[in-house]
Chain A
Amino acid sequence: MSVPDYMQCAEDHQTLLVVVQPVGIVSEENFFRIYKRICSVSQISVRDSQRVLYIRYRHHYPPENNEWGDFQTHRKVVGLITITDCFSAKDWPQTFEKFHVQKEIYGSTLYDSRLFVFGLQGEIVEQPRTDVAFYPNYEDCQTVEKRIEDFIESLFIVLESKRLDRATDKSGDKIPLLCVPFEKKDFVGLDTDSRHYKKRCQGRMRKHVGDLCLQAGMLQDSLVHYHMSVELLRSVNDFLWLGAALEGLCSASVIYHYPGGTGGKSGARRFQGSTLPAEAANRHRPGAQEVLIDPGALTTNGINPDTSTEIGRAKNCLSPEDIIDKYKEAISYYSKYKNAGVIELEACIKAVRVLAIQKRSMEASEFLQNAVYINLRQLSEEEKIQRYSILSELYELIGFHRKSAFFKRVAAMQCVAPSIAEPGWRACYKLLLETLPGYSLSLDPKDFSRGTHRGWAAVQMRLLHELVYASRRMGNPALSVRHLSFLLQTMLDFLSDQDFQWVQGDVCEVQLMVYNPMPFELRVENMGLLTSGVEFESLPAALSLPAESGLYPVTLVGVPQTTGTITVNGYHTTVFGVFSDCLLDNLPGIKTSGSTVEVIPALPRLQISTSLPRSAHSLQPSSGDEISTNVSVQLYNGESQQLIIKLENIGMEPLEKLEVTSKVLTTKEKLYGDFLSWKLEETLAQFPLQPGKVATFTINIKVKLDFSCQENLLQDLSDDGISVSGFPLSSPFRQVVRPRVEGKPVNPPESNKAGDYSHVKTLEAVLNFKYSGGPGHTEGYYRNLSLGLHVEVEPSVFFTRVSTLPATSTRQCHLLLDVFNSTEHELTVSTRSSEALILHAGECQRMAIQVDKFNFESFPESPGEKGQFANPKQLEEERREARGLEIHSKLGICWRIPSLKRSGEASVEGLLNQLVLEHLQLAPLQWDVLVDGQPCDREAVAACQVGDPVRLEVRLTNRSPRSVGPFALTVVPFQDHQNGVHNYDLHDTVSFVGSSTFYLDAVQPSGQSACLGALLFLYTGDFFLHIRFHEDSTSKELPPSWFCLPSVHVCALEAQA
C-alpha cells in the first residue's frame, strides 16, 4: 500500500467503504450530481434504530489499498455502485458486461454491488432486478436515495452475518491466519500446530471481529474484542497486528468520546446539520445519533437498561489520555515495518486530529513531526504538494500558525518546482497568499503607515518577493507591480541598495510616492526634478492626483547631459498656478536628503531582432540575467539551423566593441558537439557600427542529443556472431554481406512503443551581448543585453541497437545499426559510404556500415595511457567522447526528411559502449602476413605452384606504447571441406622448409619486426594457414584482440611445365 489518505480520521474505522464509479462515458457533471446524492446517504439506522451504519463513499480507490482490507476492515471496499449511460436496448448487454468487469477489480472484497442505468427505457426496464436500477434521465431519479438505503441494508446483512460467523468461531475449529500482503511469504512453512501460531491466529481474528463489530455499530462489543486481541497479540509479539488492535481500541474510544467527529471540515460532511465545535464534544448531544452510539446514554433513555453494558463501558473504553498513549504505542509498532509506512502515517494524522480536539498542541506537534519523517517512497510532485498542504492544515489545526505557514510555503514552492513541466504559478500564488497571516503580514498598507516596521523582515521580504515573482509569472503584471510597490513601501529600510548608474544622454527615471490629502482631485502640472551637479534636462510631467489618493507613484524623467555625480534634491510642481520648488531636505516625512547617482559617459544602445519567431515561453531567469527577448525554434534531433541576429545601433554613439557569450541553462540532456557556435569576426568586420546602422550576426544552432533510446537499448551483442574475445568465430569464408541495406521486419514491440520515443526535449540557452563604444568605452563601461533561446528538439531517428560484426579483413569491421524513424514523415538515412536507406514513419531497419577500424591510440587526448590515476573515470569519459567524435565524423550518418526538406546528422556517439568500441578499435599490434612478398588479407587468394617453396613472412608493427614480445608463432595449415570439417592432417601434402614455428624478437614501441619461413605444397588444392601463438606469460598480459592475424588462403596450382 503506497497511497496514503491524508484525510483519514479515527471515525473512519466505523465506516463501510463504498466505491462509486462511472462506467463508459458519463459526463463528469452528471456523475458528480448523482455522486453527491449518493453521498448524502451516509448513515443508516438498522435493526429498529438500535444501530447506525456509517458509509464512506469514494469515487476513486486504489485496488492495492483494498488488499489491506483484512488488516483494517474500513480499508476494504465492500460496496460498489456504478453509474452508466445507456440509451438503447442494443447497448444493454455490453453495459452490463462492463459492470461485471468493474466488479472484478474489487471482486474479492465486495459484499454487494449496484448498477444505476440512466437513459434506458423499454422492455428491459420492466424486469425488476435488485442489482440494477433504471432511470430515464438524470433529472427524473427521485428514488436514488431509497435505492442506496436498500443497498446499505443489504450490505449490513452481509456484514452482520460475517460478524456473527467470525465471532462464534470457537477455538475447536482451525482459525485461519489473516495477514497483510507483504506478510504472506513470511508464513510459508511455519508450524501451524504450535501454540504460538494458534494464538497469533486467534489474536488477529479477534481484532478482525472487533473491526466488524465497530462497523456494525456495536461499539461495546468491539472494545471487548480489541482488548482481548491486544492481550493475545502482545503475548506472541505480533507487533504489526498488535498495533492495529491498539489503534482499533483508540478509534472505538475516540468515537465514544467525541461523537462530533475529529475530521474537522471533512468529517462534518458526515454530521451535517450538527457542526459541533470540538469542545462541545463531551457535552450532551442532541439527536438520535447519541442514543444509538453511546451505550451509556442508552440507559439514561431507558432503552437498554442492561447495567452490564454500563460496567463494561467504564472498563473497556480508554480515557482521553490513554487514547494518546495507545496511539503512541501503536505507531511505535507500525514503525517497525517499512511496508506499513502508510498505516503509520495515517495513524499519526488520526492521532493529531484527536489531540487537536483535546487541545494538546505540544503532543500533537510531536506526532506531526513523526509524520514528517515517515518516508513512503519517491513521491510524485503532486503528492508532495498534497503532503505539504495537509501538514500545513494540520499545524493550523493545532494552532501552530507559523509552522503551518512554513509548510504552506513549501507546498507553494513545490507547485513551481523546476522538475514540473507546467509550473502552476496560479496555485503557487494562491498558496502564498494563504501564508500571509502566518508571517503576520497584512497586505493593507494602513497597518504599516506609521512607525518603524516591526516583524520578521527577512522572512516577510522573502515572501513578498515570491509574491511579486509568482504574480508576474502567472501573467498578471498589474498585481505584480502592486505587490512590488507594497514591498518597497513597507520594507524599504531592509532592502539592500543596488548600485546603478545613469548614462549621459539616456532618459533616466526617478520614482516618487506622493500623497494627496485633499478631498478633491488635484491637477499637478509641470512636475519635474530638481537636481544639482550635472547638467540635467528635466522633462516635466503633468498628472492628476485622485482625492485622498493614498500613496501614489509618480515617475519623473530627465536626461543627464554631462557626466559626473548628480544629486536629486527635490522636485518642482505647479498646482493651481502656484509654482513651488520642494527640496527633500525640507520635507519632514522623508529621511533621505536626496539621492546621489553617478552619470557615466554616453554609450551606444543596441537593439536586436532575430530571424526566429519570438517566444511566449520565457526562460527561468537565473541570477543576473535580465532577458529582453526570447526566441524559440523547433528542430529535429541532429538538425542545424542558422539564427541570424540583426544588431541595430539605436543610440547616438558608434558601437565599437561586442562580446558574445552563451550559457546553456542546466539541462538533464546530454548534448554532443557544439550547441551554439558563431564567428564573431564577420560581424566585427562591420564595426564600428554608426548610429542607425545594422549589422548581422549569425549563430549556428546545432542540436545533437542522444540518439540512443536509453533503457530500450539493451545490447545483446552475442547474437550477431561477435565473439567477446575479438576473434572472428567464423571461418574466413563466412560470407559477410558487403555494406548492405537489409530490410528487416520491424520488431513489433518496438514499433508499438513509438510513443516512448516521441518526447520533445527542450534546450534553453541565454546569449549575452556585452557591447560598448563612444566615450563610455574609453572609460571602460559596457552595456549588457541578453537573448533567451528556447529550442524544442523533436526526435528524428533513434538507434535502437548497435552491434559489430567482423569483416573479412582484420583492419575492417561492420557496424550494424538498427535505425528507427520516430518522426511522422518518410525519412532517408545515408552514410558517407552507402546509399540512402528509406524509412517510413515509425519504421525500424537495420543498416550495416563497413568501417575501417580506428586507431584510437594515436589520439593526443589519451593521456590515460600513461596510467595516471588522477581521475580515471573522467579520463575514461573524455577518451570515450573523443572516440565517439572520431567515429561520428568517419561515419557521417545523415538523415533527410524529403517532404519537409529538412536534414541533419545522426550521431552514434551516445550509444557506443565499451564493447563496441573495442571492436571498432584497431589493435595496437599490426600483423601482416606476406605470401611470396604479397600481403594477404581479406579474401585475396595467394596462388603458388606445387613443388616451389613459398615464402611466408609475418610482420609485426608495434603501435602500442610498450615493447612487446618475443613471440613464437606456429603455422598450421588446413583444408576447409566447406561442410564444417577442417582437415588438419596434411603431413603428406604440405611440408615446411625449415621449422613450422617462427620466432619473433621483442619489438620496441613503434618498431617493426619480421620473421620468415617457407612452405612447400606437394599437391594442388586450396589451403588455409592458421597462424597460432604459443601461449606464454607475456602474451597473456595483453588483450587477445591484439593478436588478430589475418588468415591466409593459398591456392596451390599445378606446376607449369
Chain B
Amino acid sequence: MAVCIAVIAKENYPLYIRSTPTENELKFHYMVHTSLDVVDEKISAMGKALVDQRELYLGLLYPTEDYKLCRYGYVTNSKVKFVMVVDSSNTALRDNEIRSMFRKLHNSYTDVMCNPFYNPGDRIQSRAFDNMVTSMMIQVC
C-alpha cells in the first residue's frame, strides 16, 4: 500500500509527511517535493473548471520515476494537497482504491481542522490522524 503520505499546505510547504521505511526519509521528501510541480500544473489547468464540478482527485502524478513507486495526488477545495507514494511492485492498486484512500485521508484531515486548538498552517500533530495514516501504510516486516 502507501509508503509515504504527505499533506501539503496551500503555500506548498508540508503540514505532515510520513514514510516507511523511516531510514530513507529524505528520498521521499525529494519525491514529494518534486511532484508538487505536477500538482501545481494540474491545479492551474483545473482552475478554469467550475468549482462545484471540480474533481479533487488528481490521479497519477509521476508514473515511472522509480520503477515501482507511483505517486498520486489529491487537492481539497482549500488548495491543501495530499500526495501519496504507493508501492505498486506486488499489488496493482485500482484507481478506486486510491480514491477511497484519499477520501479517508481527507475526512481525517477535516477532523484535524475541526479541532479548535489547531492553528491552520501549523504542522499536524494529531494522534488520531497519525493512527489513520499508519493504518494506510504497510507495516514493514
Chain A residues whose C-beta falls within 8 Å of the C-beta of B122 in the assembled complex = 452
In the complex, the answer to whether A459 meets B38 with C-beta atoms within 8 Å is no
In the complex, the answer to whether B13 meets A400 with C-beta atoms within 8 Å is no
Cα A401 to Cα B25 in complex, Å, equals: 22
- The 8 A CB mask of B8-48 against A (1 = contact, 0 = none) is 01011110000000000110011001101110011001000
Chain B residues whose C-beta falls within 8 Å of the C-beta of A458 in the assembled complex = 25-26, 29
**B57 at interface by CB-CB < 8 Å:** no
Cα A749 to Cα B76 in complex, Å, equals: 73
In the complex, the answer to whether B34 meets A406 with C-beta atoms within 8 Å is yes
Q: Which of A286-294, A361-369, A885-893 contacts B (4 or more CB under 8 A)?
A: A361-369
Cα A401 to Cα B35 in complex, Å, equals: 11
In the complex, the answer to whether A401 meets B62 with C-beta atoms within 8 Å is no
Chain B residues whose C-beta falls within 8 Å of the C-beta of A452 in the assembled complex = 122
- The 8 A CB mask of B98-141 against A (1 = contact, 0 = none) is 00000000000000000000000110000000000000000000
Distance in Å: Cβ of A216 to nearest Cβ of chain B: 40
In the complex, the answer to whether B38 meets A365 with C-beta atoms within 8 Å is yes
Known A406-B30, A454-B121, A456-B29; judge A400-B37 contact (CB<8 A).
Answer: yes
B interface majority secondary structure: helix
Which residues of chain A from 418 to 449 have any CB-CB distance to chain B below 8 Å in the complex? Answer: 439-440
In the complex, the answer to whether B64 meets A402 with C-beta atoms within 8 Å is no
**A693 at interface by CB-CB < 8 Å:** no
In the complex, the answer to whether B42 meets A454 with C-beta atoms within 8 Å is no
Chain B residues whose C-beta falls within 8 Å of the C-beta of A406 in the assembled complex = 30, 33-34
Chain A residues whose C-beta falls within 8 Å of the C-beta of B42 in the assembled complex = 362
Distance in Å: Cβ of A763 to nearest Cβ of chain B: 32
In the complex, the answer to whether B41 meets A361 with C-beta atoms within 8 Å is yes
**A462 at interface by CB-CB < 8 Å:** yes
In the complex, the answer to whether B26 meets A402 with C-beta atoms within 8 Å is no
Chain B residues whose C-beta falls within 8 Å of the C-beta of A373 in the assembled complex = 64
In the complex, the answer to whether A456 meets B14 with C-beta atoms within 8 Å is yes
Known A456-B13, A456-B14; judge A402-B41 contact (CB<8 A).
Answer: no
Closest to A404 in B: B37
**A455 at interface by CB-CB < 8 Å:** yes
Interface centre among A361, A369, A452 (most CB of B within 10 A): A361
**A825 at interface by CB-CB < 8 Å:** no
In the complex, the answer to whether A362 meets B45 with C-beta atoms within 8 Å is yes
Chain B residues whose C-beta falls within 8 Å of the C-beta of A440 in the assembled complex = 12-13
Which residues of chain A from 369 to 383 have any CB-CB distance to chain B below 8 Å in the complex? Answer: 369, 373
Chain A residues whose C-beta falls within 8 Å of the C-beta of B12 in the assembled complex = 440
Cα A775 to Cα B122 in complex, Å, equals: 49
In the complex, the answer to whether B13 meets A369 with C-beta atoms within 8 Å is no
Cα A402 to Cα B65 in complex, Å, equals: 15
Cα A132 to Cα B9 in complex, Å, equals: 67
In the complex, the answer to whether B62 meets A369 with C-beta atoms within 8 Å is yes
Chain A residues whose C-beta falls within 8 Å of the C-beta of B11 in the assembled complex = 454
Cα A462 to Cα B34 in complex, Å, equals: 15
Distance in Å: Cβ of A396 to nearest Cβ of chain B: 11
Chain A residues whose C-beta falls within 8 Å of the C-beta of B26 in the assembled complex = 458-459, 462
In the complex, the answer to whether B13 meets A459 with C-beta atoms within 8 Å is no
Cα A920 to Cα B139 in complex, Å, equals: 59
Partner of A401, one of B29, B37, B38: B37
Cα A457 to Cα B41 in complex, Å, equals: 23
Distance in Å: Cβ of B12 to nearest Cβ of chain A: 7
Cα A21 to Cα B45 in complex, Å, equals: 49
In the complex, the answer to whether A402 meets B9 with C-beta atoms within 8 Å is no
Chain B residues whose C-beta falls within 8 Å of the C-beta of A107 in the assembled complex = none
Distance in Å: Cβ of A957 to nearest Cβ of chain B: 60
**A403 at interface by CB-CB < 8 Å:** yes
Closest to B31 in A: A406
Known A362-B42, A362-B45; judge A456-B33 contact (CB<8 A).
Answer: yes
Chain B residues whose C-beta falls within 8 Å of the C-beta of A403 in the assembled complex = 34, 37
Distance in Å: Cβ of A388 to nearest Cβ of chain B: 14
**A399 at interface by CB-CB < 8 Å:** yes
Interface centre among A369, A400, A402 (most CB of B within 10 A): A402
Partner of B13, one of A361, A365, A454: A454
Distance in Å: Cβ of B85 to nearest Cβ of chain A: 15
Chain B residues whose C-beta falls within 8 Å of the C-beta of A462 in the assembled complex = 26
Chain B residues whose C-beta falls within 8 Å of the C-beta of A369 in the assembled complex = 62, 64-65
Cα A440 to Cα B29 in complex, Å, equals: 14
Which residues of chain A from 135 to 191 have any CB-CB distance to chain B below 8 Å in the complex? Answer: none
Distance in Å: Cβ of A611 to nearest Cβ of chain B: 43
Chain B residues whose C-beta falls within 8 Å of the C-beta of A454 in the assembled complex = 9, 11, 13, 121
Known A362-B45, A373-B64, A454-B11; judge A459-B37 contact (CB<8 A).
Answer: no
In the complex, the answer to whether A459 meets B29 with C-beta atoms within 8 Å is yes
Partner of B33, one of A365, A395, A402: A402
Closest to A439 in B: B33
Cα A644 to Cα B96 in complex, Å, equals: 71
- The 8 A CB mask of A381-411 against B (1 = contact, 0 = none) is 0000000000000010001111100100000
Distance in Å: Cβ of A458 to nearest Cβ of chain B: 4
Distance in Å: Cβ of A914 to nearest Cβ of chain B: 40
In the complex, the answer to whether B41 meets A362 with C-beta atoms within 8 Å is yes
Distance in Å: Cβ of A433 to nearest Cβ of chain B: 18
Cα A373 to Cα B38 in complex, Å, equals: 19
Partner of A459, one of B30, B65, B121: B30
Closest to B123 in A: A452
Distance in Å: Cβ of A907 to nearest Cβ of chain B: 42
Partner of A455, one of B13, B41, B62: B13
Cα A1002 to Cα B65 in complex, Å, equals: 68
Chain B residues whose C-beta falls within 8 Å of the C-beta of A456 in the assembled complex = 13-14, 29, 33
Cα A406 to Cα B27 in complex, Å, equals: 11
Chain B residues whose C-beta falls within 8 Å of the C-beta of A401 in the assembled complex = 37
Distance in Å: Cβ of B102 to nearest Cβ of chain A: 20
In the complex, the answer to whether A459 meets B33 with C-beta atoms within 8 Å is yes
Cα A458 to Cα B29 in complex, Å, equals: 7
In the complex, the answer to whether A362 meets B38 with C-beta atoms within 8 Å is yes
23 A-B pairs whose Cβ atoms sit less than 8 Å apart in the complex: A362-B38, A362-B45, A369-B62, A369-B64, A399-B37, A400-B37, A402-B33, A402-B34, A403-B34, A403-B37, A406-B30, A406-B33, A406-B34, A439-B33, A440-B12, A454-B9, A455-B13, A458-B25, A458-B26, A458-B29, A459-B26, A459-B29, A462-B26
- The list of the 10 closest CB pairs from A to B, nearest first, reads A400-B37, A458-B29, A454-B13, A455-B13, A402-B37, A403-B34, A459-B29, A403-B37, A361-B41, A406-B34
Extra contacts besides A399-B37, A400-B41, A452-B122 (17): CB < 8 Å: A361-B41, A365-B37, A365-B38, A365-B41, A369-B64, A395-B37, A400-B37, A402-B34, A402-B37, A403-B37, A406-B34, A454-B9, A454-B13, A456-B13, A458-B25, A458-B29, A459-B26
